[in-house]
Amino acid sequence: MSGQNDDKALSALRECIDKIDTQILNLLKERMNLVHQVGVQKHQAGSAIYRPEREKAIIERLSAELSSDDLLDKKAVSAIYQEIFAISRNLEMRQKVAFLGPIGSYTHQAARERFGAMSEYIALNTISSVFKALEQKRVKYGIVPIENNTNGVVGATIDNLNNSNLKIIAELVLPIHHSFVSRCEHLSQVRRIYSKDIAFGQCSEFLKSHNLDELEFVPVDSTAKAAQIASEEDASAAICSKVAAKLYELPVMFENIEDTHDNRTRFVVVSDFVNAPSGNDKTSVFATLHNYKETAALFRLLEDFKAFGINLTKIDSRPIKAQHNFAFGFFIDFKGHYLDENIQALFAKRKDELKWLGSYVAGFDFEA
């Protein structure tokens, strides 16, 4: 008798969920109709479809309505609405996104998290190719890595930004988590493991603790390539990203197998428009000091940042290839928007030495 009561209670709960799902669907249809109208107006005005500052404001407003008793938190709200935003943008205009490939890479995963399942993705072999696709208007957005918290900045991204009129319009910090995937039913059936060479070292503790360190390790060009091979070969496994496992329909046997869990990569979204200020922005510049050989030239630049009340969050030197004799410039991040009065004053004083690389919403990204 109690079993029948349990079944009735479960059925009643499912009926309630079905009704709510219908309400959610109807509200989403209503929202998308409004989005379409916004898209028409944006198209007529020639304004940008992607507005990170507007999306940030929505997330902040909705998160403020949460209470400590709610099962949803800000991270969950962000995850749900990132997909809604991505679908909305595709309704306004089909989104074409280039990224540093291959398909299934961590850059691909970052692109999917920002632009959703409906966008059209184009994997390119080099960072320069992503910038060229943007400059030739073959895509609207490009996603490339700009720094890793253990390996430092990605020089090719800095160089391309410095030699282009394209701008950073958003950033995304992605934790780099490795998964162990295989079609084998049991670990004992695995005979060889594929991955990028560095990933084996990053997961050495997991491999030893599961007695896998005596198996054949086969290094390949990328973790995505490892997943592809493991999907085609018997008795094989791969260490790869979640998106690669999903792409090649490989069962995930273990998640988050890396030795340390603080490995993060910062990605930037690059495009041909400028963001409006959001009130919580970050700006990136490249500084080329004309008097770099003079004593304390960099110190005087930093003094100017202090004098104008600008808070630096990052500075990194970068060789200037067009010059000789070990000439260096500096990649700099700081708080604020290019249009802020104090930042405009800095650029007025250093107009020939600072290249503006973009201003974009700061503190908007959440872990996957």
What φ, ψ does residue 252 adopt, rounded to 5°? Answer: -90, 115
Whether residues 350 and 290 fall in one domain: yes
Q: What is the mean pLDDT of residues 29-48?
A: 78
Kindly tell me the sign of the dihedral angle through the C-alpha atoms of 305, 310, 315, 319: negative
Rg (C-alpha) for the chain, rounded Å, is 24
Last residue of a domain, which of 43, 61, 92?
Answer: 92
pLDDT bucket at 6, cuts 50 / 70 / 90: confident
Q: What is the mean pLDDT of residues 284-295?
A: 81
Whether residues 299 and 350 fall in one domain: yes
Higher pLDDT, 315 or 326: 315
pLDDT bucket at 52, cuts 50 / 70 / 90: confident
Whether residues 298 and 233 fall in one domain: no
CATH of the domain at 214: 3.40.190.10
pLDDT bucket at 305, cuts 50 / 70 / 90: very high
In tens, the pLDDT along 339-358 reads 999 999 999 999 889 999 99
Q: What is the mean pLDDT of residues 105-129?
A: 88
Helix axes 74-92, 106-115, angle to 10 degrees: 80
Judged by average pLDDT, the poorest of 119-133, 215-229, 309-323 is: 309-323
**Spatial distance between the Cα atoms of 71 and 240, rounded to a whole number of angstroms:** 31
The pLDDT of residue 357: 97
The pLDDT of residue 34: 86
Last residue of a domain, which of 51, 73, 92?
Answer: 92
How many domains does the chain divide into? 3
Instruction: Please check the confidence at residue 142 and state whether its pLDDT lies above 90.
Output: yes
Judged by average pLDDT, the poorest of 35-49, 149-163, 176-190 is: 35-49
Judged by average pLDDT, the poorest of 54-68, 153-167, 170-184 is: 54-68
Q: Rounded to two decimals, what is the model's pTM?
A: 0.72
CATH of the domain at 11: 1.20.59.10
Last residue of a domain, which of 26, 60, 92?
Answer: 92
Instruction: Please check the confidence at residue 45 and state whether its pLDDT lies above 80.
Output: no
From the list 167, 182, 198, the residue with the least C-alpha distance to 244 is 182
Q: Which domain holds residue 292?
A: 274-368
With respect to residue 105, please indicate whether it lies within any of the assigned structural domains.
Answer: no
Kindly tell me the sign of the dihedral angle through the C-alpha atoms of 275, 277, 282, 283: positive
- Could you tell me the two tokens for 88? 């909305």
pLDDT bucket at 365, cuts 50 / 70 / 90: very low
The pLDDT of residue 293: 63
Q: Whose structure tokens read 């918290």?
A: 149
CATH of the domain at 312: 3.30.70.260
Mean pLDDT of the chain: 87
Q: Whose structure tokens read 């072999």?
A: 125
With respect to residue 249, please indicate whether it lies within any of the assigned structural domains.
Answer: yes
Judged by average pLDDT, the poorest of 40-49, 206-215, 332-341, 356-365 is: 40-49
The pLDDT of residue 3: 62
Whether residues 242 and 288 fall in one domain: no
- Could you tell me the two tokens for 31? 């929202």
Instruction: Please check the confidence at residue 367 and state whether its pLDDT lies above 60.
Output: no
Whether residues 284 and 362 fall in one domain: yes
Q: Whose structure tokens read 């107009």?
A: 351
Q: What is the mean pLDDT of residues 243-248?
A: 89
Whether residues 346 and 292 fall in one domain: yes
The pLDDT of residue 18: 92
Q: Which segment, 57-66, 79-88, 273-282, 300-309, is predicted with the most confidence on average?
A: 300-309
Q: Is there a contact between 82 and 114 (Cβ–Cβ < 8 Å)?
A: yes
**Spatial distance between the Cα atoms of 217 and 201, rounded to a whole number of angstroms:** 11
Kindly tell me the sign of the dihedral angle through the C-alpha atoms of 49, 53, 56, 62: negative
pLDDT bucket at 8, cuts 50 / 70 / 90: confident
- Could you tell me the two tokens for 100? 């540093």
Instruction: Please check the confidence at residue 366 and state whether its pLDDT lies above 60.
Output: no
